Amino acid sequence: MSEIKFIRRQREPHERAGTPVPVAESPPSDPNPPPPAERRHGLRTHVILACLAGASTLSVWFTMGGLGMTWDEAYYFEPHRNAAQFLIDAARGTRVPGVTPDQYFAQVPELPAVPRLIHGLSGLLFDGSWLAERHMFAPLVAQRLLNGVAHGLNAYLLALLLVPAAGFLPAIAGMLAYATLPHVFAHAHFAATETLMVTMTLLTVLAFLRGLRSLWAVPLAGVAFGLALNTKFNLILLPLPLALWGLIDHRRLVWLPLLGMAAIAPIVWIATWPWLWSDTLTRLWDYLQHFLTHAQTPTWYLGRRWGEGTDSVPWFYPLHILAVTTPLPALLLSAVGLLFCLWPRSPDRREHLFVLLAAIPLAISCAPGAPRYDGTRLFFNALPALALLAGVGCARIGEWFPGAGRDRVRSGVVLALTALMAIPGALAIFISHPHELSHFNELAGGLPGAVRRGFEPVQWCEAVNEPVIEHLNAMLPPGASLMPVALHDQIFTHMQSWGVLRPDIRIVGPPAVSDYHIVQARFGFFGRVEWFLWSRWFPGGSRRFGWPRGVDIPEVPLIAVAPTGQGFVDAVMRELTLETSEITP
In eight-state DSSP terms, residue 535 is I
Computed over every residue of the chain, the mean pLDDT equals 87
pLDDT single digits (tens) 82-93? 999 999 998 888
pLDDT single digits (tens) 280-335? 999 999 999 988 887 789 999 999 999 876 678 999 999 999 999 999 999 999 99
Q: Where is average pLDDT lowest: 474-483, 493-502, 536-545?
A: 536-545
pLDDT single digits (tens) 229-286? 999 999 999 999 999 998 887 666 788 899 999 999 999 999 999 999 999 999 999 9
Residue 67 has φ and ψ, to the nearest 5°, of -110, 115
- Alpha carbon 518 to its chain centroid, in Å, reads 28
Which is more confidently placed, 295 or 17? 295
In this predicted structure, the answer to whether residue 117 has a pLDDT above a threshold of 50 is yes
Q: What is the DSSP string of 150-193?
A: HHHHHHHHHHHHHHHHH-HHHHHHHHHHHHT-HHHHHHTTSSSS
Rounded to whole angstroms, what are the CA distances from 88 to 50, 102, 104, 108, 132?
31, 15, 12, 20, 20
Using alpha carbons, select from 235, 58, 46 the residue that is nearest to residue 156.
46
In this predicted structure, the answer to whether residue 381 has a pLDDT above a threshold of 70 is yes
Phi-psi domain of 372 (left: phi exceeds 0; alpha: psi -120 through 50; beta: other): beta
CA pair distance 9, 2, nearest whole angstrom: 22
Q: What's the pLDDT band for 11 if we cut at 50, 70, 90? A: low
Which run of H or of E encompasses 481?
Answer: strand 481-485
Residues 6+ positions from 332 with CB-CB distance below 8 Å? none
Percent of the chain with pLDDT over 70: 86
Residue 60 has φ and ψ, to the nearest 5°, of -80, -45
CA pair distance 207, 124, nearest whole angstrom: 30
Q: Where is average pLDDT lowest: 5-14, 267-276, 349-358?
A: 5-14
CA pair distance 104, 121, nearest whole angstrom: 14
Q: Which residues of 309-337 are buried (b: 16+ CB within 10 A; e: fewer)?
A: eeeebeeebbeebbebbbbbbbbebbebb
Cβ 387 vs Cβ 178: under 8 Å: yes
pLDDT single digits (tens) 462-489? 999 999 999 999 999 999 999 999 999 9
